[in-house]
Structure 1
């Protein structure tokens, strides 16, 4: 008998929580209706008359982000190439200077 009583109590608790959820849903619907009615009662002279720019879509933002990433990688590779070129030029200059000093000593 206590098992049936526990089941009945659980059913009552579930019904009371369902009722609270339904009441919250109805309250949300009433708030939405009130907000919609309030938006409709706004006078028309408050609307702006200038043209708004269309906003960018998610695809456009994704394309911009990809372009920035590709550009950043390109700049990184260009910087690396310049660093390698500078190092190579420095080594060539040092070798040529060493060769020049050796040539100057042997020439005397």
Structure 2
């Protein structure tokens, strides 16, 4: 029986030492939690994406659009010039007709 008593005492001593280890571990966890709570919150990293550069195809499309627009403006200018010339001829013809009509009176 004394052998069982010695084993029980050893088990109690071991349990006491285990509770000390457990208490130290719990204290370490509490200390880590406190240290983490005291750290200032860090700002989130910048999520800004830089603008993508235009590809060669996009530049080619822009160049074609500018060329087509330029040709369109040239044709519009030519049409206005023709319209102005026709209007001038019509005005001269009408003026001449008016003069002839006035002479006939």
Bin the TM-score by the shorter chain.
Answer: 0.5 to 0.7
Please list, as runs of the form range in 1=range in 2, the aligned pairs for 1:1-108 lying within 5 A after superposition.
50-107=48-105
Larger Rg: 2
Cα RMSD of the aligned pairs, angstroms, is 1.8
Unpaired runs of at least 5, structure 1: 1-47
What 5-or-longer segments of structure 2 have no aligned partner? 1-45
Count of residues in correspondence between the two structures? 62
TM-score by length of 2: 0.54
Structure 1 length-normalised TM:
0.53
Give 3-state SS (helix, strand or coil) of 1:51's partner: coil
C-alpha separation in 2, matches of 1:97 and 1:106: 14
**Runs of 4+ with >2 A deviation:** 48-51
